[in-house]
Structure 1
Amino acid sequence: MNKIIKKSLAVAFVLVTAWGCKISQPAIKAENTSVPETYNQEKQFGQSEIPVWKEVFTDSNLIALIDTALSHNQELNILLQEISIANNEIQARKGEYLPFVNIQGGGGIDKVGRYTRDGVVEANHEIKEGKEFPEPLSDVMVGAFASWELDVWKKLRNAKKSAVFKYLSTVEGKNFMVTQLVAEIAGSYYELMALDNQLSILEQNIQIQKNALEIVKMQKQAAKVTELAVKRFEAEVAKNQSLIYDIRQQITETENRINFLVGRFPQPIQRNSAAFPDLVPNAIQSGLPSQLLANRPDIRQAELDLEAAKLDVKVAKANFYPQFRLTAGMGFQAFNPRYLLTTPESLIYSVAGDLVAPLVNKNAIKANYRSASAQQIQAVYNYERSILNGYIEVTNQLSKINNLDKSYALKSQQVAALTESISISNNLFKSARADYMEVLLTQRDALESKMELVETKMMQLNALVHVYQALGGGWN
């Protein structure tokens, strides 16, 4: 009989395994990680050694803001909880391929009919001579029972490994979030300093225009100009005074944007805006494009997601194969509690094994398998897109830094020339060698050039922030 059982199990194993093997291999798409050798810049940069953000942003006020944000930013704290959830998933998957052992206890009372099968057995059999079955018959049981799914096809282990990759992916997602947070705070901080400088320039220009207005009024009293000149200067002063409130509103909104990122209610932002014109962006070596694969958290996250997706395909494929499960139990059972621990009479135990494989109606398994394959292909495209996006971001920012350096030098010359032309036009106007429109236009051009110079300086600093972010720094 044992030989027949063994042969039957062997035949069943061969059949279900052959059935499962009929499933076609998963359409695993290979990723393309090739990148150009350089960033197509005129100047090639050396080895990329991304410093921590505190070595790039040395302003003490900015450092304090970033430190506070890394502790109190709500979105970052939400991601930290996602990491905790992913870590718990690893423990859950790990436990699935270990035996499950449960302790079970119970009791009950049973009264059967006299003319039922159990009733006949009770009426004609006695536990002891001269004594029938108790009525009603109680039943008490306590024991330990175990079940274990044999991970023959590595489905459970692959599921656990996939959970590990997803956990590491959430960690890289947090790192990428840190780079974005540091960059956004630094960019907003420099924008705030730029607005302060623009406000100061505008106030200085208004004072110059007020002085010119007084001169025009005196010229009108001397009948050298008409009322039209006075009104044009008054209109120019009023226009620039209204711009002050626009800039103040922008300052308020920028401050509150920083406060939101820091995770606190609106309050003034400490900064030293007087030092803004003298800020010089530090040079950051870009290194080779291939180093982006190791430096950028978003690329590493996409790579980990891809590895998890590959394992998910294997897990979905394993569902077509038979599952092997062992069950065992051991305990005590008796009709009376006082006999519960009597051995061997009350001792119970069991050992069993089963093999289950899908045969008919496998639509759900096929659908999950096809979905896992499609998600793996999606992960490949996302990984390749992340690499392409990283390369383009670095290329754009390196080009921007180079062009802004040249632009700032020329705008500085423009500001110097127009600033000098203000006094020249005023002197010419006083000596009646220039009309009021020349003075007005000169002042207007000088103001615009100064404002543009501040904006260019802000763009230079932001380009430093963005290239540092694009190279993958800020998260250490």
Structure 2
Amino acid sequence: MKWTYKIYIGALAIGMLASCQSTQSYQHLDIAVKELYRDTQEGDTLSIGMMPWQTLFKDAKLQELITEGIENNLDLKIGIERLHASESLLKQSKAAFLPDLSIGGGVKRSRLSYPQGFGFVKNATQYDVFANTSWEIDVWGKLASSKRAAYYRMLQSDAGQKAVQTQIVAQIADYYYQLLALDQQQTIIEKTIVNRKVDVETMQKLKESNVVTGAAVVQSEANYYDAEATLPGVKRQIREVENALNVLLGKPVGTIDRANLTVQELPIEPNIGIPAHLLKNRPDVMAAEYELAAYFEDVNAAKRAFYPSLNITGGAGFSSYEFKDWFTSTGLFANIAGGLLQPIFNKRQNKTRLEIAKASYQEKAYNFQKTMLVAGQEVSDALYAYEMAGEQLTMRQQQVDKLALAVDYTKKLLVYHSSTNYTDVLTSEQAHLYAQLAHSNDQLLEWQAIIKLYKALGGGWRE
């Protein structure tokens, strides 16, 4: 029993030593965020990235689609399962601090040689039941480092899940506004087809009155068929975008219920400013740093593998050659032992493990830097794209207005004045159609710039 007390006292002393040991923990990296952007203004765009998607996208039909996508998107479901797996690994790393326990039992029938039987027995039956335990005391913090690594990987999986949701929300919104823009373009083309059909009839009447020649009639008909030929391409694009959106929603292809582009209101002002707290909101940046922290702890664990390990083992049970004496005090046995194991030569396993851990950590450090640079590029691009889209849309609206006047003027001149011909009408009509389609596309570009900025700032995962 004295030896038992000595073992307990020794284990307690080593445990106290371990608790006093200082361990190196991962330190959050401070990044000069403003240096990641160009042409910034004073201000803070964090409020945009911090907005719940319900606040940014006010269209009720779009909100329904995003909700459906978050619930049913297959990539999000895959991410949830990965998160569950990382949570299980964290639980396992915590359980590593606990002792192992196993139980067993058996009955063994033996035929003994004469000397072992002492001349009395030739056959013996042994009855056993036992419990064994072993416990590695984390003196140097190896298990603690492994637990922290598992914890950071769980946080990485969680951040990765949020990053996927950010992408899904942005992609659903992008497809939705593509559909609205294509719907508007289809409406423009259909109205143009109706107008050009009227133009053909008008040219035929003017020819009968000797105001225009047969060439003008043929040109008007060609102009009509040009508009007709444009329509199938737009319808094809609508079908393709609808199908792609349905895949994002995790359901078979079909039509998408939607509003129209003219009723959409932009949620923010053009003067946006500097995203000063990008690290706190972008899930992919958070995931990259959590991954870096996990590999930092892997290095710590690999270093501590060089230190001796302290193990306490014990066992107890009942063993007897007589069934009636199996669970009596005469059959009771027990043992307890403690030991230190210092690795001396293990075929370079520990050294290789440490070198790999250090190289992997440096790789993740470079990956984190790359993630930050890409994040800065995406925010800078989105900021400038939004600014330029607003200017482009303003200029395009003026072009559409002027070309509408040009079409009206040339048609009147064709009827009432001989200084013009149908070629002038044709040119102005074609320019007006393409300007209208471009105006619709410019509206889409403005919305896409907002969506990209929202995604670049990490928006879409907050409720």
Q: Return the TM-score normalized by structure 2.
A: 0.89
Conserved 8 A contact 2:40-2:273: no
Conserved 8 A contact 2:382-2:452: yes
Q: 2:52 corresponds to which letter in structure 1?
A: V
Q: 1:182 corresponds to which letter in structure 2?
A: V
Q: Say whether residues 1:248 and 2:235 are aligned partners.
A: yes
Q: 2:170 corresponds to which letter in structure 1?
A: A
Deviation at 1:161, TM superposition (A): 1.0
Q: 1:267 corresponds to which letter in structure 2?
A: G
Conserved 8 A contact 1:97-1:150: yes
Partner in structure 1 of residue 106 of structure 2: 106
Using a 3 Å threshold, how does the CA distance of structure 1 residues 299 and 80 change in structure 2: closer, same or farther?
Answer: same
Please give the residue correspondences for 1:20-419 in structure 2 after superposition, counting only pairs within 5 Å: 33-36=31-34, 39-41=37-39, 43-46=41-44, 48-49=46-47, 50-112=50-112, 114=113, 119-124=114-119, 132-133=120-121, 135-273=122-260, 275-276=262-263, 279-283=265-269, 288-343=274-329, 345-419=330-404
Deviation at 1:433, TM superposition (A): 2.6
Q: Say whether residues 1:461 and 2:442 are aligned partners.
A: no
Deviation at 1:239, TM superposition (A): 2.3
Q: Say whether residues 1:424 and 2:409 are aligned partners.
A: yes
Q: Distance in 1 between matches of 2:76 and 2:295?
A: 25
Partner in structure 1 of residue 435 of structure 2: 449
Q: Distance in 2 between matches of 1:284 and 1:67?
A: 28
Partner in structure 2 of residue 13 of structure 1: none
- Residue aligned with 2:42, SS: coil
Question: Runs of 5+ in structure 2 lacking a partner?
Answer: 11-23
- Residue aligned with 1:44, SS: coil
**Cα RMSD (Å) of the superposition?**
2.4
Using a 3 Å threshold, how does the CA distance of structure 1 residues 213 and 281 change in structure 2: closer, same or farther?
Answer: farther
Partner in structure 2 of residue 433 of structure 1: 419
- Residue aligned with 1:331, SS: strand
Using a 3 Å threshold, how does the CA distance of structure 1 residues 173 and 38 change in structure 2: closer, same or farther?
Answer: closer
Q: Distance in 1 between matches of 2:279 and 2:234?
A: 41
Q: 2:227 corresponds to which letter in structure 1?
A: N
Name the % identity: 29
Deviation at 1:43, TM superposition (A): 4.1
Q: Distance in 2 between matches of 1:364 and 1:255?
A: 55
Q: 2:456 corresponds to which letter in structure 1?
A: A
Conserved 8 A contact 1:30-1:380: no
Q: 2:233 corresponds to which letter in structure 1?
A: D
Conserved 8 A contact 1:209-1:443: no
- Residue aligned with 1:169, SS: helix
Q: 1:298 corresponds to which letter in structure 2?
A: D
Q: Distance in 2 between matches of 1:75 and 1:442?
A: 49
- Residue aligned with 1:354, SS: strand
Q: Distance in 1 between matches of 2:286 and 2:270?
A: 21
Deviation at 1:325, TM superposition (A): 1.5
- Report the number of matched residues: 439
Conserved 8 A contact 2:129-2:317: yes
Conserved 8 A contact 1:37-1:288: no
Q: Distance in 2 between matches of 1:378 and 1:249?
A: 45
- Residue aligned with 2:33, SS: coil
Q: Distance in 1 between matches of 2:310 and 2:250?
A: 52
Q: Distance in 2 between matches of 1:248 and 1:81?
A: 38
Deviation at 1:47, TM superposition (A): 6.3
- Residue aligned with 1:407, SS: helix
Q: 1:122 corresponds to which letter in structure 2?
A: G
Q: Out of 453-462 and 240-249, give the one that drifted further.
A: 240-249
Q: Distance in 2 between matches of 1:412 and 1:283?
A: 19
Q: 2:338 corresponds to which letter in structure 1?
A: G
- Residue aligned with 2:344, SS: coil
Q: Distance in 2 between matches of 1:62 and 1:224?
A: 52
Q: Distance in 1 between matches of 2:28 and 2:266?
A: 45
Q: Out of 190-199 and 252-261, give the one that drifted further.
A: 252-261
Q: 1:140 corresponds to which letter in structure 2?
A: Y
Partner in structure 1 of residue 19 of structure 2: none
Q: Distance in 2 between matches of 1:170 and 1:286?
A: 31
Deviation at 1:458, TM superposition (A): 0.6
- Residue aligned with 1:434, SS: coil
- Residue aligned with 1:320, SS: coil
- Residue aligned with 2:277, SS: helix
Deviation at 1:389, TM superposition (A): 1.6
Q: 1:350 corresponds to which letter in structure 2?
A: N
Q: 1:204 corresponds to which letter in structure 2?
A: K
Deviation at 1:232, TM superposition (A): 2.7
Deviation at 1:383, TM superposition (A): 1.4
Deviation at 1:189, TM superposition (A): 0.4
Using a 3 Å threshold, how does the CA distance of structure 1 residues 175 and 29 change in structure 2: closer, same or farther?
Answer: closer
Q: Distance in 1 between matches of 2:380 and 2:256?
A: 33
- Residue aligned with 1:326, SS: strand
Q: Distance in 1 between matches of 2:27 and 2:357?
A: 12
Deviation at 1:430, TM superposition (A): 1.7
Partner in structure 2 of residue 127 of structure 1: none
Q: 1:421 corresponds to which letter in structure 2?
A: A
- Residue aligned with 1:36, SS: helix
Q: Distance in 1 between matches of 2:271 and 2:40?
A: 14
Using a 3 Å threshold, how does the CA distance of structure 1 residues 417 and 42 change in structure 2: closer, same or farther?
Answer: farther
Q: Return the TM-score normalized by structure 1.
A: 0.87
Q: Out of 362-371 and 176-185, give the one that drifted further.
A: 362-371
Conserved 8 A contact 2:379-2:456: yes
Q: Distance in 2 between matches of 1:166 and 1:284?
A: 38
Q: 1:58 corresponds to which letter in structure 2?
A: K
- Residue aligned with 2:105, SS: strand
